[in-house]
Amino acid sequence: MAMTFSNSPQTPGVGLHQVRPPCTGVPKSIPGVADTAMVRPTARRRTSIAPRIETGTSEGVAATHAYVRRYWIPIIGPGAVADLLRLTAAAQSGRSLPEPIHLSSLLRLGLARRDRDTVVVPSTVRPLDRTLVRRLPPSLRRTHAAGVTG
């Protein structure tokens, strides 16, 4: 006697999208309602920082230049480049913002630096050095070598 197994629901006329495990009781929080939402015990608020622009740096391009998006994103990722743009915009407008998630990457590569409690961003973003250019995909390496910056 052959047994057949099926992943389909046992109730006729009920599709897979309608099958859910049984739920007993009332949910502890209602999605979208802030006052009843539970916060993880490990969650913490990111500290607020007031970045400032470093004066006297002239080598490189502005953080908003297409060069930064085209060549730095493959190196440090889109989130880190977005954090760099947010830091630059906040520094130019004099606003504070929550500490960026990718700040450690920016600090490690010299795209930002700490000065006590302040994060300092250069007025220009330096071009990629040879070591970083080697990490680019071949097509971007060719355009970078040809001197295309936008």
- Pull the structure tokens for residue 107: 């600090």
| Percent of the residues in the chain that have a pLDDT greater than 90, as a whole number | 49
Ordered by start, the domain boundaries in the chain are: 48-145
* Residue ranges of E strands in 21-108: 48-49, 52-54, 97-98
The residue ranges of the chain whose pLDDT is under 50 are: 149-150
pLDDT computed for residue 28 by the predictor: 56
Contact 132, 75 (CB under 8 A): yes
- pLDDT tens by residue, 10-51: 555 555 555 566 666 655 555 555 555 567 777 778 888 899
Classify the C-alpha dihedral 18-20-24-26 as positive or negative.
Answer: negative
What gap in Å lies between CA 67 and CA 10, rounded to an integer?
58
What gap in Å lies between CA 46 and CA 50, rounded to an integer?
13
